[in-house]
Amino acid sequence: MKAQPFAVSTHLPAPWSPDSWQSHVAEQQPRYPDADALSRALDELRALPPLRKLPQLPCR
C-alpha cells in the first residue's frame, strides 16, 4: 500500500497579538443554571489581585 502525501495548506494564520483571541467565536461554552451565583462568583474573582505581580512579568 502506497502512503498518501499530506495535504499542504497555503492559508497562513493571522499574526498573533494579545487581543487576537477576541476575533474568534466562543464555542463550547459551559451553561450555568444559576445566573445570580455566576455573577457573584465573577464579581468575587474581579475583586481579587492579579495572579502575577508586575515585577514578575517578563520585560520586553
- Our CA angle for 9, 13, 14, nearest 5°, is 150
Please report the pLDDT score of residue 38 as a whole number.
96
In the 8-state DSSP scheme, what is residue 5?
Answer: P
Torsion of CA 11, 13, 14, 17, to 10 degrees: -170
Please report the pLDDT score of residue 56 as a whole number.
61
Distance of alpha carbon 21 from alpha carbon 18, whole angstroms:
7
Please report the pLDDT score of residue 45 as a whole number.
95
Taking only the tens place, the pLDDT of each residue in 5-50 is 666 667 777 777 878 878 888 888 899 999 999 999 999 999 998 8
The pTM (predicted TM-score) of the whole model is 0.44
Please report the pLDDT score of residue 17 as a whole number.
81
